[in-house]
Amino acid sequence: MANVKSEPAPRPSPAELLAILEDHGYRPTNQRRDVVSLLESKEVGFTVEELTEELIEVGRATVYRTVKLLLDAGVLCKVTLADGTPKYIVARREHHHHTVCVRCDTVGEFRSSTVERVLRTIGADIPGTIVGHRMEIFLICESCSDTINYFR
């Protein structure tokens, strides 16, 4: 218990996301507005392809460009599933890690001060200057284990 926070934290609103882009010097165009608005409905991790399908009015390249801007701004995270395919999620926290369900690919977010502390400790034993880390926990989520799957 404690030390692990996996409760959903408040997510930035579309307006806030747009403001973040403006802070980085990018214009709040209609296309960018459309992309960040759509993000509001994305809860579990999505692909860029999904975005482009729902945003027929925005060119694929623009969607990718906007996703990249948001990635650079730190408001989106790219998560690599166990099989290597990429998904994106809207970040709720500054620094965090991801959980990925190996059955349904749902991506979650958690942070643990214990992990951070341990990593700092470990750092002392690893040659070089540590500048960051990444961690994913693979699991079978509750709704997947609740579902008795007769076909597996």
Partner DNA sequence: CTCATTGCAAATGGTTTGCATTGGG
Partner DNA sequence: CCCAATGCAAACCATTTGCAATGAG
Question: Rounded to whole angstroms, how far apart are CA atoms 42 and 48?
Answer: 11
Does 93 participate in binding a copy of itself (rule CB under 8 A)? no
Contact 15, 117 (CB under 8 A): no
Interface segment toward a copy of itself; rule CB under 8 A; list 18-26, 39-47, 88-96, 137-145: 137-145
Q: Map residues 41-70 to x or -, x wherever contact with a copy of itself holds by CB under 8 A.
A: ------------------------------
Question: Rounded to whole angstroms, how far apart are CA atoms 78 and 85?
Answer: 10
| 10, two tokens | 């408040």
Which partner in a copy of itself, DNA, none is near 3 (CB below 5 to 8 A by kind)?
A: a copy of itself
Give 49's contacts (C-beta < 8 A, 6+ positions apart): none
Which partner in a copy of itself, DNA, none is near 57 (CB below 5 to 8 A by kind)?
A: DNA
Residues that bind DNA in the complex, under the rule CB under 7 A: 25-27, 29-32, 47-49, 57-62, 64-66, 68, 78, 85-86
Does 148 participate in binding a copy of itself (rule CB under 8 A)? no
End-to-end CA distance of the chain: 32
Question: Rounded to whole angstroms, how far apart are CA atoms 120 and 12?
Answer: 29
Contact 17, 70 (CB under 8 A): yes
Which partner in DNA, a copy of itself, none is near 139 (CB below 5 to 8 A by kind)?
A: a copy of itself
Give 118's contacts (C-beta < 8 A, 6+ positions apart): none
Which CB, 26 or 110, lies closer to a copy of itself?
110
Does 3 participate in binding a copy of itself (rule CB under 8 A)? yes
Residue bearing tokens 């997510």: 11
Q: Which of residues 112-131 bind a copy of itself (CB under 8 A)?
A: 112, 114-115, 118-119, 121-131
Minimum CB distance to DNA, residue 128 (Å): 24
